[in-house]
Amino acid sequence: MWKEQIMHVLFATSEVAPYSKTGGLGDVCGALPKALVRLGCKVSVVTPYYKSVADYFQRTGEPCESLYGVTLSAPVGNKTIRAGVIKATVSGVDFYFIEHNDYFNREGLYNYQGIDYEDNHERFSFFSQAALELVTALDLDVNVVHAHDWQTGLVPVYLDAVYKSRSKFDVSSGFGNSVRPQFDNTADRAQKFDDIKSVITIHNLRHQGRFWRGAMDVTGLDWSYFTYDKMEFFGQLNFLKSGIVFSDMITTVSPKYAQEIQTEEFGERLQGVLQLRSPSLRGILNGIDIDEWNPATDKYIAANYDLETFEIGKPKCKAALQQELGLNQDPNTPLLGVVSRFDPQKGLDLIADCAAELIEHEGVQFAILGSGDETLGSRFHMLSKRYPQSFALRNEFSIGMSHKIEAGADLFLMPSRYEPCGLNQMYSLRYGTLPLVHDVGGLHDTVVNASDENIANGTGNGFVFYWENVDDMRRALNWALYVYRCRKDDWKSIIRTAMSSDLSWEKSAREYLNLYEEMTAEN
């Protein structure tokens, strides 16, 4: 069937840039659909109509329309919730926003001032159903529903157990007759969904959507599904686990992370489930927006440059960054950049542990941009006061400054304890700012250690340390500083290798399209 018609994929996601975003999930769901459309795929995206979305359309004036006459309804506990639909089309992608003010017209997407909304289980149970109701309401001819993270973890569950005519699980031990009457599941309706396949992408396994067991009543699903092999997780309801169990395929955002999450160290207590689903688990590396992150056209940086002109452009960007941050203006001083959320995951405490020694004995400078953990922020603040001409801290979020650091730094530090994919190391490669990373997740899949052998064969594009401690990071950094100072030609060669990397979304989109076609070929 798929060979005779255009592949149509419905993305169900709780955030999508530029409308709503808290992290990499929003970036992926904003960029990947457009890349798929460029490959000839039809993509629709369904996402909540948050306050931030309404603000975006009001601020930008970009066109959108309310689909009058289209109302989506679904049971949430003992209530029936109804919502409207707003549509926008950008770059060939149809975006459908689910409008329900009580659930989505709030200041934050998932929390307010750091406190999770108490009804998140209701909000995203409803949204998961609304995403599938959209298929019927607009008569969409969908081949694949692609869910993302815990917020849409129930989409594959509802698709399989409610919307299809036959569950892949034993109905007698599942819904039986106790749940289906709650849903409008006529034969014609079921037939529309029978051939639809589902895939869920795990962007970060740590965030799972775990709720108290009573939340099962809100979902409208039969309690016989609240078992260890389906939706139950140590006495709780787990949205992400549910999606992993019920999806036809599972992906995550890098090949290495797909391996890591099947281990006790990185599995967040779901490693057993993921091991069972291992034949259906794929790691597909994220891409980056190569138009936004392009040193040849970047509007934020002091001088534009490319692969042929970086020897002229990067020193100008470095000088401008040093001046703006109040650092000592010396072109020969190694400048180490960091752009990151201040979080224990990111391993930035390793930098704080050795920064003073590096400044005093190695003569390096730091340019750090980020916010988050107050303890880590305080440590960085003290270093900036102690070494004002060597340690610059911007404790904030700034798009412009993030671009300036990527262009002006010599090395970019990412000592993450785990990193499902990571984007900044790819931005750094694009800008010829050599990344120094811990060998985990997407960092493993994108950065090749510039050992003597890899420099000689032209594959080294950064520097890697392998053990999660400050001594091993220092060893890698010492080697990088030696190459920077004493082997200038090799340094330039590594930059050329880095800037030549294929980091576009097209490469990732082709892998996803191949996966969709493989899944639907059975129909």
pLDDT tens digits, one per residue of 187-238: 556 678 999 999 999 999 999 999 999 999 999 999 999 999 999 999 999 9
Least-confidence region, from 22-26, 90-94, 145-149, 440-444? 22-26
- CB of 343 closer than 8 Å to CB of 375: no
| Predicted TM-score of the model (pTM) | 0.92
Residue type, 140: L
Mean pLDDT of 68-94: 96
- CB of 163 closer than 8 Å to CB of 220: no
pLDDT at 22: 87
Q: Tens digit of pLDDT for each residue in 491-513?
A: 999 999 999 999 999 999 999 99
pLDDT at 189: 62
For 32, 60, 218, 236, 452, the CA distances from 89, given in Å and listed in that order, are 15, 15, 33, 39, 50
pLDDT band at 147; cut points 50, 70, 90: very high
- CB of 183 closer than 8 Å to CB of 220: yes
Task: Answer yes or no: is pLDDT of 181 > 50.
Answer: no
- Cα separation of 67 and 88, whole Å? 10
In terms of Cα–Cα distance, which of 68, 93, 106 is closest to 16?
A: 93
Percent of the chain whose predicted confidence (pLDDT) is above 90: 89
Task: Answer yes or no: is pLDDT of 176 > 50.
Answer: no
pLDDT at 247: 98
Please identify which residue in the block is written with the tokens 């200041």.
107
Mean pLDDT of 15-20: 94
Mean pLDDT taken over the chain: 93
- Residue 48 class from Cβ within 10 Å (0-12 exposed, 13-18 middle, 19+ buried)? buried
Task: Answer yes or no: is pLDDT of 182 > 50.
Answer: no
pLDDT at 23: 82
Q: Tens digit of pLDDT for each residue in 442-488?
A: 999 999 999 999 999 999 999 999 999 999 999 999 999 999 999 99
- Cα separation of 46 and 94, whole Å? 9
pLDDT at 438: 98
In terms of Cα–Cα distance, which of 440, 431, 409, 400 is closest to 337?
A: 409
pLDDT at 2: 37
